[in-house]
Structure 1
């Protein structure tokens, strides 16, 4: 990279939003790079109205692939993007984009599941995963399997995110292990999947040991009862009449 090119790159704060803008060779491209810097700065400063104006200009430019920047759109759609449970509009937008942009569907589903979890809608998040995971290419994505495993394990503990009493479902643990195992096969270095597989195995072992000890304790009590000699019956004494 020449000194001139390096100097031009250093003139901007953020990486280019498109390959064609890596080295802005025209005044228009320089303007787009600066506008993108303004967009990012406004987001970092939580100045969403100005960020939305910059975004609305950028997405109308032919040099910008707006679909590659959908994550920014999700961030800008809410008045308060940091509100934990105020994600309804984001979730609706993501579901609409999943239907209309199949090429980005895997990434969009990851974001949708994350947003549902963030909003406390865990059962709904797992339902979404169960809808897509049996089919290709979702079944070969380790992140989606990790999400599914974590959700199964979370819901197994009785956390259903509603006021209704939770129904314990033992099969959720088996499903969690299955998803973690699949994630480990797809990504052997996935520390989350490996750690949870080990933790669940240890928990199952401890549960089996406790059950065995309890059964042995019950057997010992039964043996002790059998070995005790029968107690003599007490005879009621009656006073004889004189």
Structure 2
């Protein structure tokens, strides 16, 4: 279901409620805003600018001499999109090989993975494929993936079309940024927010359709990962009951 079709569905339900004089306590995106939290993890080789991107977005500054991340660190930022509030937990993971075995601990439970490379380094782009394989092993299938070519203020080595094609192949979005010049970062995170809202609205709409006949309300607030896990668990239980 698309975002536009969901809007149409909500409007149809409102009209039906008015015709039947029925008060509907379930979720409809046009009636009530949502408030969710989501975990975003930045992955990539060392020195590609993961820390600079997260600090630039969350704090609005460029760290002139950022220290290499040890293990992982995270920042938070609250954003408002069309009256909906999203709390981002932005996890910046270490790119050094000696911390590689620890990485999966930090990005489990993430809703979004930003795979960062340096457009002036072919090696950093080649390493993206290794991170994608790690994600496939440790992360849920419906994670939002972004391939991010950072440091566009430098002389380019990685061809943009090649990077974009690779992103398309792995069903990821593609953005290019410069943390130093503050280019492309806000746009990238805004698109992430919109994608998460679409997923959350569709999830809640499906929950509403499934639970409507039971008169069970759906809470439009909470952690997007928890909501999806609850929904998947109910789907699994429903399937088991049908086959028993």
TM-score, normalised via structure 1 length: 0.25
Normalising by structure 2, what TM-score?
0.25
Higher strand share: 2
**Higher relative contact order by CA 8 Å / sep ≥ 6: 1 or 2?**
2
Q: Which has the higher helix share?
A: 1
